[in-house]
């Protein structure tokens, strides 16, 4: 299959045409690029799983352009869910609610709940509107690989596997949406993101952050390996351990690289490194592009520990998974 990469109005029109004949299209969002299909078309949704090589028990998120389609998709919107949606949507958050009968089980991986997201990215919303149907989508990477934050990243994983990539430039947020389960008594964060627990607690009073063991695959990265670069990756607890790990790896004949904040990069002398920037937002926006670049130029990736709370806490949630939890 030939994979087109297109920009602008024509891309949206072509994308919507493909969605409406049951094809799969990659599109930009503020979090990461998505791999979309008509949420009501079983055969189209199955193509997403095929293109990604994704296990079918990992659910997809249903993307909407505005709240006009919301009530078709869920059975009941609680007062708390209304508050969350009013405060944070459109934006980088997915809200899990009880699904209605018309949402196919292949979208929700057999669950009786559905994840709803309204992206803030204008291209994403214009595309979904043009499709005239809710768009089911996971991230547009091959299963277990790093999530794409540019059309070029998508092309690398999906060339020949899908008919079209809509190029909307770099993703502004850079990591996947916060997933908030509102189908249970206490709202629970299943996956941290740029909308943090602190931000949610401010409007909800309390949210549970995810802890404990999972039996059903409720959120990504709990059951499967995720966000993994092509080579060994470790987290260094500080600049000193990053340098030590680098020098050891180099001594053993590896080609290491350090991914770190600007402050730390200033201490690395002529060791190969990738600068994530300084602010939380910059670090979040740059992390996946950095991992993509790192796996190309090195065979051993050392990422500095970036913090435990706020946006950097969410970034570290992904990096820890990239590293398979390995800290040096
Ligand atoms: P991705 O961001 O590529 O991993 O794809 C969407 C993710 O949203 C899935 O991995 C799910 O874990 C999460 N998700 C979607 N729907 C649900 C749901 N009903 N319950 C829990 N998590 C969900
Ligand atoms: Mg993903």
Find the CATH number of the domain harbouring 34.
3.90.870.10
CA of 243 to the centre of ligand 1 (A): 36
Going by alpha carbons, the residue nearest to atom 2 of ligand 1 is 138
Instruction: Say whether both 261 and 150 belong to one domain.
Output: no
Could you tell me the residue range of the domain that residue 269 belongs to? 232-322
Instruction: Say whether both 275 and 309 belong to one domain.
Output: yes
Instruction: Say whether both 157 and 294 belong to one domain.
Output: no
Instruction: Report how many domains make up the chain.
Output: 2
Going by alpha carbons, the residue nearest to atom 1 of ligand 1 is 138
Burial 80-91 (b: 16+ CB within 10 A, else e): bbeebbeebbbb
Please report whether residue 16 resides in a domain: yes
Residue 31: CB within 6 Å of ligand 1?
Answer: no
Cβ–Cβ < 8 Å for 304, 239: yes
Nearest to residue 218, comparing CAs of 127, 324, 109, 308?
109
Cβ–Cβ < 8 Å for 55, 66: no
pLDDT at res. 211 = 63
Give the tokens for residue 73.
């998709």
Please report whether residue 222 resides in a domain: no
Cβ–Cβ < 8 Å for 314, 194: yes
Residue 121: CB within 6 Å of ligand 1?
Answer: no
Domain holding 238: CATH number? 3.40.50.11030
Please report whether residue 172 resides in a domain: yes
Convert the chain into a string of H (helix), E (strand) and C (coil): CCCEEECHHHHHHHHHHHHHCCCCEEECCCCCCEEEEECCCHHHHHHHHHHHCCCCCCCCEEECCCHHHHHHHECCCCHHHHHHHHHHCCCCEEEEEEECCCCCHHHHCCCCEEEEECCCCHHHHHHHHHHCCCEEECECCCCCCCCCCCHHHHHHHHCCCCCEEECCCCCCCCCCCEEEECCCCCCEEEECCCCCHHHHHHHHCCCEECCCCCCCCCCCCCCCCCCCCCCEEEEECCHHHHHHHHHHHHHCCCCEEEEECHHHHCCCCCCCEEECCCCHHHHHHHHHHHHHHHHHHCCEEEEECCCCCHHHHHHHHHHHHHCCCCEC
CA of 176 to the centre of ligand 2 (A): 7
Residue to mutate, 36, 59, 107, 318, ligand 1, most ligand atoms under 8 Å from C-beta: 59
CA of 55 to the centre of ligand 2 (A): 12
Instruction: Say whether both 78 and 180 belong to one domain.
Output: yes
Give the tokens for residue 29.
């969002």
CA of 45 to the centre of ligand 2 (A): 15
Give the tokens for residue 291.
């991992």
Give the tokens for residue 226.
């995720």
Please report whether residue 224 resides in a domain: no
Instruction: Say whether both 108 and 43 belong to one domain.
Output: yes
Please report whether residue 226 resides in a domain: no
Model's pTM, two decimal places? 0.81
Residue 171: CB within 6 Å of ligand 1?
Answer: no
Measured from the alpha carbon of residue 188, the closest ligand is 1
pLDDT at res. 215 = 26
Instruction: Say whether both 76 and 133 belong to one domain.
Output: yes
The size of the chain, in residues, is 328
Instruction: Say whether both 241 and 205 belong to one domain.
Output: no
Please report whether residue 214 resides in a domain: no
Instruction: Say whether both 56 and 113 belong to one domain.
Output: yes
Q: Which residue has tokens 């998974």? A: 321
Residue 167: CB within 6 Å of ligand 1?
Answer: no
Please report whether residue 225 resides in a domain: no
Instruction: Say whether both 140 and 186 belong to one domain.
Output: yes
Residue to mutate, 31, 138, 228, 317, ligand 1, most ligand atoms under 8 Å from C-beta: 138
pLDDT at res. 316 = 96
Give the tokens for residue 299.
């065979």
Instruction: Say whether both 262 and 160 belong to one domain.
Output: no
Cβ–Cβ < 8 Å for 157, 62: no
Residue 243: CB within 6 Å of ligand 1?
Answer: no
Instruction: Say whether both 138 and 174 belong to one domain.
Output: yes
pLDDT at res. 293 = 96
Beta bridge partners of 113: 98
Residue 59: CB within 6 Å of ligand 1?
Answer: yes
Instruction: Say whether both 30 and 141 belong to one domain.
Output: yes
Please report whether residue 327 resides in a domain: no
Mean pLDDT by runs of 10 across the 328 residues of the chain is: 96 98 98 98 98 93 95 92 95 98 97 98 98 98 96 98 98 97 88 89 81 38 65 95 97 97 96 98 97 96 94 94 91
Going by alpha carbons, the residue nearest to atom 20 of ligand 1 is 218
* Preceding amide of 292 cis, omega within 30: no
pLDDT at res. 218 = 40
Residue to mutate, 55, 61, 108, 143, ligand 1, most ligand atoms under 8 Å from C-beta: 61
Q: Domain boundary residue among 209, 224, 250? A: 209
Residue 148: CB within 6 Å of ligand 1?
Answer: no
Cα–Cα distance for residue pair 315/296, rounded to 1 Å: 21
């Amino acid at each position: 299959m030939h994979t087109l990469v297109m920009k602008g109005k024509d891309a949206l029109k072509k994308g919507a045409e493909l969605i409406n004949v049951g094809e799969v299209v990659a599109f930009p969002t503020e979090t990461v690029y998505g791999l979309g299909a008509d949420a009501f078309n079983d055969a189209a949704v199955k193509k997403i799983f095929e293109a990604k090589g994704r296990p079918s028990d990992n659910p997809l998120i249903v993307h909407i352009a505005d709240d006009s389609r919301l009530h078709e998709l869920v059975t009941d919107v609680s007062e708390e869910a209304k508050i969350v949606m009013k405060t944070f949507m459109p934006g980088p958050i997915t809200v899990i609610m009880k699904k209605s009968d018309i949402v196919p089980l292949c979208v929700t991986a057999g669950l009786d709940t559905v994840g709803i997201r309204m992206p803030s990215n204008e291209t994403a919303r214009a595309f979904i509107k043009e499709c005239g149907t809710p768009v089911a989508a996971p991230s547009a990477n091959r299963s277990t690989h790093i999530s794409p934050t540019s059309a070029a990243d998508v092309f690398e994983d999906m060339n020949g596997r899908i008919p079209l990539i809509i190029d909307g430039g770099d993703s502004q947020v850079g990591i996947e949406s916060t997933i908030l389960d509102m189908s249970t008594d206490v709202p629970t964060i299943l996956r941290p993101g740029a909308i943090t627990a602190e931000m949610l607690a401010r409007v909800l009073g309390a949210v549970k952050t995810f802890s404990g063991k999972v039996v059903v695959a409720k959120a990504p990265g709990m059951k499967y390996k995720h966000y993994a670069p092509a080579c060994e990756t470790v987290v260094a607890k500080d600049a000193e351990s990053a340098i030590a790990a680098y020098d050891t790896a180099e001594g053993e004949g590896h080609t290491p690289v350090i991914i770190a904040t600007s402050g730390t990069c200033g201490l690395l002398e002529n060791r190969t490194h990738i600068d994530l920037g300084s602010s939380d937002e910059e670090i979040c926006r740059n992390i996946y592009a950095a991992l993509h670049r790192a796996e190309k130029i090195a065979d051993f990736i050392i990422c500095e520990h970036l913090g435990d709370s706020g946006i950097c806490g969410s970034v570290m949630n992904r990096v820890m998974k990239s590293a398979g939890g390995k800290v040096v």
